[in-house]
Chain A
């Protein structure tokens, strides 16, 4: 039973401490949450993601006030009401569209930083897994959100991606109809993806973010050299005033000050895109209202799905679906496929360094080919890149097994 001082002034520090332990919360979550000193700006990507998610949430709230989830009204509710009638409606729409695209750029940078520095190993497997689950959740959120303006790309992307669930030779057409709630993407389809986008997936994302932070707490954040040290001992040094000698810094205010500076640079670039250069995020094809009787000349997913789309495309139907499923799941297995005991940046692990850069370049090639029409030399390059992707992951356990202990 806690002790309550009758003389404590209401809402004073002492009073709040007795009731919700504010000082302990402050210590554990900010002023004594220890981060290694030996880091670079890539370590700020997590906070940049949180800030971008915040922008998406806030802009989404304002869009939600005026968006109408009816197939006859959705397009105009966005492109007329929000874009020209609502005060600053255009601003929220642009922030939301650009944010949804840029968030994936930051996600990929954040992911590949983790792969490069081995931040998925030795106690950090759950950080990696919860992060990959967040990637899946954000992908679902992006897909469901793209349906909402009900433009040509919304409709046909919906048609094509839900057709995948027929399972190729399985011909599970009934399942596809059940997902859609109708024979084709229509009102039922729009309504359920509206529900997913506005309520269910955001709740899942928030829960996963909390979990992701939770999985970080005990292993602590990694550092540039993958060095393992005693956080408690280093924390004592800092608290004793030996700030230069200590290998750690407190999250608030030291790490946060670097985070905020990186965020400032990011926001300049972000808002430049919002105001002046946004076609990459708001594809012109989606400014044609949905027409179930006319397929656009070129259908393609948003850029962040292209690498995955291109693994599906070059193969015949059933092998393609298997390869596609493989690609979605394989990143999750990274902590278990990497058989080397070394936790170090890739430039110190020769074979892994090769693997890393080839993977990155391969995914960029897959992305390019996914956008281009599947003809001639593009489909050949796409096939080679897709096969390379599969071979790389199969080879990973073998090349890491051969790594010498550092």
Chain B
């Protein structure tokens, strides 16, 4: 049928146009980076660790880090920490849950080398790979059974990256506050904003620039980019100040999950509604075809 031939010509030119402008052009502009499934192949395997020995060694960590799961409070508040170290050292309750064991151990031996980071305030914190493995084993023993997407994000990313759509600043969630009814002034919020601002200033000095807000980063970069970038920042942005953070599969899944929650929250609804709308138009087209045929009967 002649019309089908015309339709295929139109379709072919459209598809060629799409190919050139999208997949082809983007492949020329961004080289493809493979996701290595968190093998961390530059790091050697570690020996089995002893959690009891690890518990004794962990006393050295609480000089900077809090461990809520073991009832160890933070030695300084977030703002004071940022003044001292550039960034607030994370609470370590989740360290044994979302970090890769091998990475964690090697990190303790030489934080700067393993994170490929030019800026790192953390000094080497284990004397030997055996000690490191013991510390890792201890943190695994106190790790919680369940962790939410947001908790994983807060631990792995949240001390540098805000997520305003998730109500998260580098020093914690934005609190609910009330303005003074006579003046409209919300003093509590202003004080919180001041703390965040001071922290961000210190952080930007430490890192070279302010780490971006990740609210919608998953749509600005794509899931593949985010996974490969988190796995090995230097592979996507050579020279970046972002350290390698050493997530394991669960950590990666949860962090990406949180990025999707704030960056593409309509995805579930979109994928649920799509089939209904497409189904409607499929039936519509069938009925329209019937009407068309009935109107054109005996005319040609």
Contact = CB atoms under 8 A, between A and B. Distances in A.
In the complex they form, do A and B come into direct contact, defined as C-beta atoms under 8 angstroms apart?
A: yes
Interface of A: 37, 40-42, 76, 79-80, 83-84, 89-91, 94, 105, 109, 243-244, 249, 253-254, 257-258, 260-261, 263-265, 267-268, 271-272, 274-276, 279-280, 284-285, 287-288, 297-298, 303, 306, 360, 364, 367-368, 371-373, 378
A360 B13 contact: yes
Contacts of A279: 22
User: What is the predominant secondary structure among interface residues of chain A facing chain B?
Assistant: helix
B291 A285 contact: no
A260 B286 CA distance: 11
B298 A243 contact: yes
A101 B9 CA distance: 20
B291 A257 contact: yes
Given A90-B270, A268-B282, A261 B299 contact: no
Contacts of A84: 165, 265-266
Nearest to B1: A40
Contacts of B216: 79, 287
Contact of B219 (A109, A275, A287, A373): A287
B296 A258 contact: yes
Nearest to B221: A284
B20 A260 contact: no
Contacts of A297: 29
Contact of A257 (B20, B270, B282, B288): B288
9 A-B pairs with least C-beta separation: A264-B285, A275-B274, A90-B266, A287-B220, A368-B20, A257-B295, A371-B25, A261-B288, A261-B292
B183 interface: no
B181 interface: no
A288 B164 CA distance: 14
B17 A80 contact: no
Given A243-B299, A284-B220, A364 B16 contact: yes
B25 A263 contact: no
B6 interface: yes
Interface in B275-300: 277-278, 281-282, 284-285, 288-289, 291-292, 294-296, 298-300
A176 B94 CA distance: 55
B176 interface: no
Q: Select the residue from B265, B271, B295 with max chain A CB neighbours within 10 A.
A: B295
B18 interface: yes
Contacts of B14: 105
B60 interface: no
Contacts of B146: none
Contact of A288 (B220, B281, B284, B291): B220
B21 A268 contact: no
Contacts of A364: 13, 16-17, 20
11 contacts: A41-B6, A79-B216, A105-B14, A254-B299, A275-B270, A275-B274, A275-B278, A287-B220, A364-B17, A367-B17, A368-B24
A83 B218 CA distance: 14
A271 B281 contact: yes
B180 interface: no
Interface of B: 2-3, 6-7, 10, 13-14, 16-18, 20-22, 24-25, 28-29, 164-165, 212, 215-217, 219-222, 265-266, 269-271, 273-274, 277-278, 281-282, 284-285, 288-289, 291-292, 294-296, 298-300
B281 A90 contact: no
A275 B7 CA distance: 24
A368 B282 contact: no
A163 B300 CA distance: 56
Contact of B278 (A41, A90, A244, A272): A272
Contacts of B284: 264, 267
Contacts of A373: 28-29
Given A41-B3, A79-B216, A265 B285 contact: yes
A187 to B, nearest CB: 21
Nearest to A79: B216
Contact of A268 (B281, B294, B300): B281
Contacts of A257: 288, 291-292, 294-296
Contacts of B292: 257-258, 260-261
Contacts of B217: 287
Contact of A303 (B21, B274, B296): B21
A280 B21 contact: yes
Contacts of B6: 40-42
A274 to B, nearest CB: 8
Q: Select the residue from A41, A284, A373 with max chain B CB neighbours within 10 A.
A: A284
Nearest to B21: A303
Given A83-B266, A287-B220, A271 B13 contact: no
Contacts of B17: 303, 364, 367
Contacts of A368: 20-21, 24-25
Nearest to A84: B265
B137 to A, nearest CB: 41
Contacts of A276: 274
Contacts of A41: 3, 6-7
Nearest to A224: B2
Contacts of B222: 284
B165 A80 contact: yes
A367 B299 contact: no
Contacts of A372: 25, 28-29
A244 B299 contact: yes
A306 B29 CA distance: 16
B91 to A, nearest CB: 28
Contacts of A360: 13
Contacts of B221: 284
